Structure 1
Amino acid sequence: MSDLLHFLTRRADGEIVHIDNAEKGEDYFCPECNGAMLFRKGERGLRRPHFAHLQLSDDCTPETMLHRVFKEQLATLIEERILRAEPLLFKWNCSYCKGEHVADLIKSCVRVALEFPMEMTRPDIALFTSDGQVRVVIEVVVTHKPTWQAMYYYEQEGIFVLQIHLESYKDLDKLNESPLPFTKMNLCYNPKCIKCEHHKRRRYMEIITGPCLRCTGEMKMAFMMDGGYTRYVHRFYAKEIETARENGVLIQEHFTQLAYGTSSPLLGCTCGHCGYFIHNGSTLGNYILPAREGEYPSQRIQMGYVCVHCK
């Protein structure tokens, strides 16, 4: 991030100003150190327009400014929602099940604080419950991740840690998204395995609608995602076959030629127009990537949970 320039500053009244809205002749100040800043339009072929300190400081960098502005605006957003008793949805990648969760993390919170001093650390943002306890902390990561000592302390105290990694001033736009997209968190809503006590992962059936590879007529194909592992229709369980059929997938038994002239019955997703069938990933791969890119419609059906540790 060494090429990150100052694109944010503030006016004397505290209003944050982006470089696109800056005007020559106005007084600007650094949101981080409060030092005076200059508006530089830039030169053709050289640097873009940006702000620069009137007096250089090694302790005040574009990274530290981005860090401060983001956490202050996020804290303000959270505080406003708490005061209005309105939900605020967060989205994060789970550190345990590796899946994605969405939840209103301020639902039971009554107060928000910046850089609240705790025994072992000082989180960027702390969220408090009505009993005065810190329930969730938010760490805004630009250059430095939370130390392992801080993470260990949070774990021992039962505090959930929500992290967001920033790379540029464009990441400030994330504050306008719903749900708010965060990088990761150590909070999992999936049930734990009774054998190994690891969090289970979600099981999905994905159904893709696309053209038959033989006649180009419309057909539906299904496969299972078992916590990141793919399983195709010839290995479906009875309940999964039933669910696929209920959602329009034509599943029939076909015979495939094996060695020495023998044949074996296999279940396959079948075209209702010409009888062409798909039973493995090599053929289904013709549909999965286009579906991911939005070329073919697809739907996901949650089918419970699976433990990938003792599966």
Structure 2
Amino acid sequence: MKNQLKVPLAFNSDRVIVKPADASKDETYYCPGCGDVLVLRKGTKKIPHFAHKASDSCSNETIIHSLAKKSIAEVVDQFIRNKSASPIVKRRCSVCGDLHEQKLPQTVSAVSVERKLNTGFIADVALSSNDEVLAVIEVLVTHEVSKNKAKLIGIPFIEVSGEEILKDPMNWYPLKDYFKPFSCTRCESAKREFWHKLQEVSNSTGITLPREYYRTTTYRCWKCKKEILVFDWPGNRDRNATPNEPRPKSIQYRYSSTVKHKYWANTCPYCRQIQGNFFMFSEPDSNFFGFQSGEDTVEDYQHDMLVLAVRHDTF
């Protein structure tokens, strides 16, 4: 004979989540996992709880999964109807890595449980606007979202712990974060100041400031000690890829007596000396120290420039 299954929370007849302590013996309550009628155990000697017999069709994992989905949907619905504050997503800045709190956007106008997406994937919880799914929340109890499953979702999503959601449905700590990359206020501020600095150096050197492809920062020429702009680009250092046009005029195909061959190099617009890759990317006080450009995409470019902005702000 299987033991009785304790159920932490239940649905009432309106499918509203009810705690055992708030339940009445005059009402009927249902298991979130299988829908069976529950027995309310509420007395003076035992901690209040719901229960039904354990079965192959229901388990603690099933119950937690169902309750967590419903809990998320309820707090989002309260937010949409302006009856409570937004739940908070605890996210790490994609640049500095610090943990920050992010609210749901006001564009979220609907929430649904077990929503079928255009890809055929059934999302645990879907956040929508005008019937367009903006994001998905997947609940982990026993099986995490695999790489193949992540591709099938096809839209921004996070994965959260079902048990943690039941403890605190207003604060979400993603185990996997596939929302759009997030950058904190400090990093965004550093970005604005960095662009202002780059424009200053661009004006003084006469080197046009590129707005895409070229990762740009400032550097002190080893020869004349003047502040100049230097650039990196996808494939530069692993295969000395030919830089795209239009190319900043300070990037020149020059012979280096140090490496004994020609390559595409940054040069100083004042004294025309080559600014060697080894020193630019290996000196700890260089903004390019340890840096590697991402792919030739808008997203990678924007991320790389944010990284360089924060480094410039730090050094």
Structure with more helix by fraction? 2
TM-score normalised by length of structure 2: 0.49
Q: Which is greater in Rg?
A: 2
